[in-house]
Structure 1
């Protein structure tokens, strides 16, 4: 009987501890969501900013605008790398000559964007050279436009328009958040 009572007591104690832990986690998550929301309200597109940042779990732990700008920059780098892979995969599927040529232009643009972000933007950001970081992000954003123009020139619909849009969105959010640091 005492063993059963002890296990019930242990169960209740564990339940209370888990409930308390979950409650504090909810409060922390709420507080961080509030911080993200307040910060994103300072940007040109609040909804997009929140949507992009909340895709990265590290955003929940950010406590400064600098943290959120760094996370947005990381997301932009991830997007550029992902786009290189997608375009490479499409290129391997033996596209027609005009499409293959347009994809080659896209691949070059996104490869250069990835390098600009990984090498220059990260370095500039770490040094606090936010205007230079913005220039690097702007350059990377241009990859989507280059790709779009390559397909327009051959009169074909771009098979990568969705990743072009994502690149523009992520670069835009990163630029808006980095801009908050320039003003300081």
Structure 2
């Protein structure tokens, strides 16, 4: 009987310890979401900023605007890299179609955007050259417009409208957050 009581009290103690850990984790996650919300409220598109950042778990560990801007820049870079892969695959499947030329233009634009983000934006950002970083992000965002125009020129519907919109949105969030770091 005494062993059963020890087991029950041990179980209750362990349960309370786990409950305390889970509760404190939820409070920290809530506090991190509050920080993201407060920071995103300073941008041009609060809802988009929150949606983009909260989709990435590492955002919950950010404690400064610089951290969030860095995460947003990585998201934009990863989006450009992903889009290069998607467009490259699309290019292979459309070699002798009327869309081939437009797809080639898109691939070139996104490849250049990826290189610019990976090389220059990261370098400028880490050195604190935020205005220069914004210029590179703006250039990279232009890949989506270049792609849209290529398809408009051949009078075809772009199969990449979704990834073009995503690129614009992710670069926009990065720009808005980096802009918070530019000395006024």
Give the TM-score category using the shorter length.
over 0.9
Structure 1 unmatched runs, 5+: none
- Distance in structure 1 (CA, Å) of the matches to 2:135 and 2:129: 10
Is the deviation greater in 84-93 or in 32-41? Answer: 84-93
Aligned residues: 184
Greater mean alpha carbon deviation, residues 4-13 or residues 44-53: 4-13
Per the alignment, residue 94 of structure 2 pairs with: 94
Shift of 1:11: 1.4
Aligned residue for 2:30? 30
Superposition misfits of 4+ residues, deviation over 3 angstroms: none
SS of equivalent to 2:89: helix
| Alpha-carbon shift at residue 8 of structure 1 (Å) | 1.7
Scaled by the length of structure 1, the TM-score of the pair is 0.97
| TM-score, structure 2 normalization | 0.97
Distance in 1, Cα, partners of 2:29 & 2:72: 19
Q: Answer yes or no: is 1:47 the counterpart of 2:47.
A: yes
Alignment correspondent of 1:62: 62
C-alpha distance after superposition, 1:31-90 (max 9, x if no partner): 111110000000000000000101111110111000000000000011001101111111
Offset, 1:5: 2.3
Map of 1:1-184 to 2, 5 A cutoff? 1-183=1-183
- DSSP 3-state at the match of 1:103: helix
What's the Cα RMSD here?
1.1
